[in-house]
Amino acid sequence: MHESPSTSSRTPAKLEPEFVSLEQVSRYLEGLINRESRVDYVYERLDLRPIRALLDGVGRPERGLSIIHVAGSKGKGSTCLFAEALLLALGEHVGTFTSPHLESWVERFRIDGEPIDEVRLVAAVNRVRPVVEALRVGPTDTRPSFFDATTAVALLLFEEAGVDRALMEVGLGGRLDSTNVVDPVVTCITSIELEHTDKLGETEAEIAGEKAGILKWGIPVVVGRLRCEAAGVIRARAEELSAPMIEVGGEIGSAHDPEQDPNGIDLDFELVTPGRAARLNAALAVECVRALAVYEPAVLADAATRSLSLCRLPARIEVLAKDPAVIVDAAHTAESARALADALIDLAPKGYDLLLSVSSDKNLEALLEPLLPRARRVWTTRAEPLRSLDAEVLAEGVASKARSLGLSIVVESEPDPARAAVRARYALAPDGHLCAAGSVYLAGLARRILGSGDTLPETRRAIMNEIEIGLAAENEVAAIPEIERRASLLFAPEDLPPAIAARTTSRDDYARAQHEGRLIVARDPGGAVVGFAHLEILDGRAHLEELDVDPAFGRRGIGGRLVAAACGWARERRFDSISLTTFREIPWNAPFYTRLGFVVLSPESLTDALRALRESERGVGLDVERRVIMLRRLVGADLEFAPR
């Protein structure tokens, strides 16, 4: 559950101030995703006019860049990261754009192997944002998408950094992807399988046609292992464009298929990242750099040995350094699940427990087919509240597939992904392994929670204890704006306008509230902040300025406990009532507070401070006719909820 009784704390000094923090940038970018997720985009109607218009508005930063452009159903991010490591070993200054991120937006934009620093990302988004917003209110055919915006940000960052080479990963398909606005020096298609069939086509040949859209006249294309129908489409397009085609790893099913000959890929050293897929992606990276035709073979071979053998890929069959019993992988397609299952034969020879979260648009049965036969137990969860399957629905799907395979597997369901990760790790046998897979969101969460090395000492308390409520400590303030940002994404744009949703209360305001004892937090069993209540004093009354719960911890009664704690806080300070502002009809707003004893105030009963608050909401663009001001009278029993 997410509760947000007031947005007055987001009131800006002026309507469109520049962003100053990563929290604001993250909120804005995720707000763009949120808006688009509510619109039924038809892929065939998309074209490159929006990204071209956007880049025109920011000065065409891509024109001076030397770009390697990488598409594929899987492996494109890994290929980019391997190529990045190789180019750095060759002494180049490199920019890399990949998606999605695991833990932070900065991961998508890399300079010389490191995520971009927050200050530079904020500045780039501030440059792009006015053009994005101007185009969004213009003609439909030039309205930029979220992907257009992030592509423009990446190109700006690379231009400003003066990189020698840029690596650009395609987001979806190829022909109509935002990144296809660039003029590359090398293109690459890593793999093709059935994915996004509602947008890209129902056969591998149709999907290959979309991916082949990144090929350019006379520009070499490096191609990974494809089945014959897809390979034929790529070859035909390459011949049409006189684009030299470099095939790596052989055609699947051919006489030279390296599936039968694992040494068929020309790398004479071992990789830190296990698995045949990693080896193929490393080989693709080498060929992309070779296709630049600027390095002698001996120089390239030496750099490849030095760099690729040590290159670690986050969430690509990653064994956590601080807890080697945990393996994290972002596998979410049938092919990537097969690659993971192959690697787990060596990494977890006695079998493994699975921690799974899967997006609702994925082929669940195909994903489970290679992973279940050696699984001892499966934990299902929901890592992303808007896209992932419900944990119970996923558990039913796992159990059904297990039965069809003749397997007897224990399936546990835990909707809270953080708790699921901790429970799954705690329940692991002493010689067992836990593999978190099925979702990029889950991979990022598992790395963050289980990769710190501090999880195991807290696991018993994590399982036995409930969420605790208390006054915020100084070191907990930094987490509050991020929770406010994530919670606001549950609102539709017509309810919470993007100009307001893109802002959070400043960290300084929260720090002041914490210092004055006006900030209450909810902590998960591991001690992380998962919700908060921010209180003010208006006209001698307590006022609940903001109350939010991280969506990943919704529907667990945390919001109700925070309201009770806020009432106890107010009663302990001898206030006779507590007020708030909220939306009249949204279920987790006024109806929620009505159940907790709040009543709607009539306009004539408002104090001067509450009238001023109402006008401030009107001033930032909220529809005050859809908003209400509510009040609850406090009684002595509320004292028992006072946080300490």
Bond preceding residue 12 cis, omega within 30 of 0? no
Tokens 């469109």 — which residue?
Answer: 16
| Model confidence pLDDT, tens digit, residues 555-602 | 678 899 999 999 999 999 999 999 999 999 888 899 999 999 999 999
Return the higher-pLDDT residue of 320 and 7. 320
Q: Where in the chain is the domain with CATH 3.40.630.30?
A: 465-641
Tell me the C-alpha distance between 328 and 317, whole Å. 6
Cross-strand pairs, 109: 97
- Backbone dihedral angles phi then psi of residue 453, each to the nearest 5 degrees: 85, -5
**CATH of span 323-451:** 3.90.190.20
634 Cβ contact list (under 8 Å, min separation 6): 567, 570, 571, 575, 576, 577, 578
Distances (CA, A) of 216 to 43, 223, 284, 582: 21, 14, 18, 53
Write the pLDDT tens digit of every residue in 602-623: 988 898 889 998 888 887 778 8
pLDDT at 245: 94
Among residues 142, 149, 179, the alpha carbon closest in space to that of 67 is found at 179
Residue span(s) of the chain under CATH 3.40.1190.10 come to 65-124+163-308
**pLDDT given for residue 40 in this prediction:** 47
Q: How confident is the model at residue 548 (pLDDT cuts 50, 70, 90)?
A: very high
- Which structure tokens are listed for 86? 């190789």
What does the pLDDT average to over 6-25?
61
40 Cβ contact list (under 8 Å, min separation 6): none
The amino acid that residue 523 corresponds to is R
* Dist. CA 498–CA 12, nearest whole Å: 13
Q: Are 535 and 575 in contact (CB under 8 A)?
A: no
Cα–Cα–Cα angle for 324, 328, 330, rounded to 5 degrees: 165
Give pLDDT tens digits for 392-446: 999 999 999 999 999 888 888 888 888 888 878 877 777 889 999 988 889 888 8
Each residue's pLDDT tens digit, 433-453: 999 998 888 988 888 888 765
Q: Within the chain, how many helices (H) and strands (E) appear?
A: 22, 21
Query: What angle (nearest 5°) sits at the alpha carbon of residue 407, between those of residues 403 and 408?
Result: 95
Q: Do 571 and 643 form a contact (C-beta atoms < 8 A)?
A: no
What is the arithmetic mean of pLDDT over 150-170? 96
Q: How much of the chain, in percent, has pLDDT values that exceed 90?
A: 44
Cα–Cα distance, 59 to 52 (Å, whole number): 10
Arithmetic mean of pLDDT, 509-523: 95
3-class DSSP assignment, residue 599: strand
User: pLDDT digits over 132-144, tens only?
Assistant: 999 988 888 888 8
Q: Indicate yes or no: pTM above 0.85.
A: no
CATH number of 65-124+163-308: 3.40.1190.10
244: DSSP letter: -
CB 598 within 8 A of CB 638: no
- Report in angstroms the alpha-carbon separations of 352 from 346, 431, 451: 11, 10, 18
Over residues 326-341, the pLDDT tens digits come to: 999 887 778 888 889 9
Residues of the chain with CATH 3.90.190.20: 323-451
* Cβ neighbours, 10 Å, residue 541: 18
Residue of higher predicted confidence among 225 and 128: 128
Question: Rounded to whole angstroms, how far apart are CA atoms 165 and 427?
Answer: 46
Spell out a b/e string for 597-612, using b for 16 or more CB atoms within 10 Å of the CB, else e: bbeebeeeebeebbee
Query: What strands, in cross-sheet order, belong to the sheet with 434-437?
Result: 318-319, 326-328, 434-437, 352-356, 375-380, 410-413
HSE value, Cβ hemisphere, 13 Å, CA-based, for 518: 16
Fold of 465-641: Aminopeptidase (3.40.630)
Q: Quickly count: other Cβ atoms within 10 Å of residue 69's Cβ.
A: 29
Tell me how far CA of residue 264 lies from CA of 83, 248, 249, 257, 595, in angstroms: 20, 9, 7, 8, 67
Cβ neighbours for 470, distance < 8 A, ≥ 6 positions apart? 520, 521, 523, 643, 644
Per-residue tokens: 79: 């290929």
